[in-house]
Structure 1
């Protein structure tokens, strides 16, 4: 249960049920909205996912929120915060911050629906691109809180992006790697619907002789296990590109006729994620210090005879669907905004909350990324009270930035001032 300490709020999750070891799909802790496919179903922190296995927070993990002033936010005056207004409006449309927040003393830690109705109405009245007005809006309606894990304010921050592949709607000698839709016999269950202490835990498989059994793993699927059961929505020309699409969870496929298909996460086979980067480090193929998406891709391309066996060690397999309209879509169910959308552990940080980030810049590690983002995505590798994954967008520059982002930093939650003014009773 939440506890309140003087000058700060502290709350966490029960450690009775271990978290899933997979950073993918329904088993990742990522809740998939019925009308949208999340982008980073697996791809949260590209480098981290390729190197480190996902771990659930332990029972001692506690998010402590300590109030500070806006003057105490590192670099607050240097960010064009008006860029965070459009993604905030998208979150307002979903009302996710109010509807899906954790509770503290019977009321959401991010305030009531009425609080957010007032905030969202004020955001709608702002002129696009007016930094002075946007800064005044945030300072008027929000109160900053330094986030820490029981006093430790530092955590890991990574990046992800939208991948690009080349493909065709029909298989051929060139386009021979299928991107599968979710099979009809894949069953995903939210265990929280059965027991309150299993909230946030999910499992997937298929029914065999009346029992839910594990689904086929990556090796079996790539060997043809889904023939007659699975449906490829598109065929691509490179198995490594397809694997990285699985890591990212969403991407654009440039078809052979020039059209562009956007694909997004639809489901996952339920098997635990295996980090191939960690395996390469274990083999002394790559040093721990040099691990990055770029280094792992280079190794795979230089060792084609070993690629399939290495990829098969990751038994997790992701299924996709074609996306229409704006995208990519985050787990909150809204389009993600490059450089302004953040994936968080929703056990601690609700969707729709503005978050001030202070971390090293992957493009220039000697500099800092100090900017306002909106919590709009999540994923299995994003575990803990101080943990985030920045969506950098689409294209080579975004891929480079995401692939190299693996830095220690801190963040601050902006919560409604109206909430801060009301007392919260500990339970």
Structure 2
């Protein structure tokens, strides 16, 4: 694994202990999590390295055939402005989960589809797909979903949905943390790629900053752009805390040491060695991370979303990150990958 000897695995230790809080009772993980607990919360770099080399086997991931490289993007926890009450300034709803949305677990009938879910709604005696982003907007207050907060900027709200969690600064200066609760069941479609296909931006310009600039310059096409992505994320309000946002593993994410993965190929909670590069450069970014989150756009074996942390600087790095990388999942000795 390139860069293994240069990385400091002790920096991933808090993330490992967070994973073990969920994995410690699962078959195959008891002994490795017990050994991690025995080393305490702050082992030395040498102790951490010896621990991983003694207890884990690295399995390189491939995207079918001989392809060992895949896409590595970045995400972060944004801060947007919002309010508890609607006004001309705060006019964009941040919805909770709709009361009429059904979740159908396909794995209950087809075990091979255990990771697949459908969202729908009942119309007469039929189950139809749930509303798309554009349809939800058209229905307005007819959507039976609670409004948690009102945002002051539709673009900031859109990117908060893309990130899956964030913080909302209220007019009185207080901050509310919200996190992913559910999604309308429609596949994520990149508005950056839509803008490229429309001839509005080049591929190099289609970063988060580039998309925001285009939206400010083309307010008349804002809804058209946003509705090019039919996916819509619903949120829940989270307790105030000092840690990172809660990922799919139900533990706080660690800045620079957590990634989102496709759980069909990488078990949630597992250590992963990621070999990629920093945004817009060839400078190596080779480090041990923990698979603690998922995402609707994260599909495939060699596919990761790197968590940069909270705030503007993290957002800049995340928005520019679209690198190639390789991945090794570290599994306890005797355990084999899902596929």
Work out the CA distance in 2 between the residues paired with 1:228 and 1:123.
47
Query: Alignment partner for residue 321 of structure 2, among 402, 405, 412?
Result: 405
Aligned to 1:156: 71
C-alpha deviation, 1:168, in angstroms: 0.7
Query: Alignment partner for residue 293 of structure 2, among 374, 377, 396?
Result: 377
1:251 match: secondary structure: strand
1:79 match: secondary structure: coil
Work out the CA distance in 2 between the residues paired with 1:184 and 1:89.
36
Aligned to 1:318: 233
C-alpha deviation, 1:166, in angstroms: 0.4
* Kept in 1: contact 2:97–2:235 (CA 8 A): yes
TM-score computed with the length of structure 1 as normaliser: 0.74
Q: Which range moved further: 260-269 or 140-149?
A: 140-149
Work out the CA distance in 1 between the residues paired with 2:334 and 2:195.
51
Aligned to 1:85: 13
Aligned to 1:354: 271
Deviation by residue 1:399-425 (Cα, 9 ceiling, x = unmatched):
1111111111111122223548xxx9x
TM-score computed with the length of structure 2 as normaliser: 0.93
C-alpha deviation, 1:228, in angstroms: 6.6
Aligned to 1:416: 332
Mark the CA change 1:220 to 1:350 in structure 2 (over 3 Å): closer, same or farther.
Answer: same
Work out the CA distance in 2 between the residues paired with 1:121 and 1:267.
33
Work out the CA distance in 2 between the residues paired with 1:144 and 1:229.
47
Work out the CA distance in 2 between the residues paired with 1:309 and 1:144.
45
* Kept in 2: contact 1:169–1:255 (CA 8 A): yes
Aligned to 1:330: 247
2:49 match: secondary structure: helix
Aligned to 2:33: 120
Aligned to 1:184: 99
Query: Alignment partner for residue 262 of structure 2, among 345, 369, 373?
Result: 345
Aligned to 1:211: 126
Work out the CA distance in 2 between the residues paired with 1:204 and 1:78.
45
2:169 match: secondary structure: strand
* Kept in 2: contact 1:83–1:129 (CA 8 A): no
Q: Which range moved further: 378-387 or 164-173?
A: 378-387
Work out the CA distance in 2 between the residues paired with 1:410 and 1:85.
22
- The correspondence of residues 108-147 of structure 1 with structure 2, limited to 5 A, is 113=27, 115-127=28-40, 128=42, 130-147=44-61
Mark the CA change 1:419 to 1:270 in structure 2 (over 3 Å): closer, same or farther.
Answer: closer
* Kept in 2: contact 1:216–1:225 (CA 8 A): no
Work out the CA distance in 2 between the residues paired with 1:234 and 1:77.
47
Instruction: Show structure 2 runs of 5+ residues with no match.
Output: none
Aligned to 2:158: 243
2:5 match: secondary structure: helix
Aligned to 1:389: 305
Instruction: Show structure 1 runs of 5+ residues with no match.
Output: 1-72, 100-112
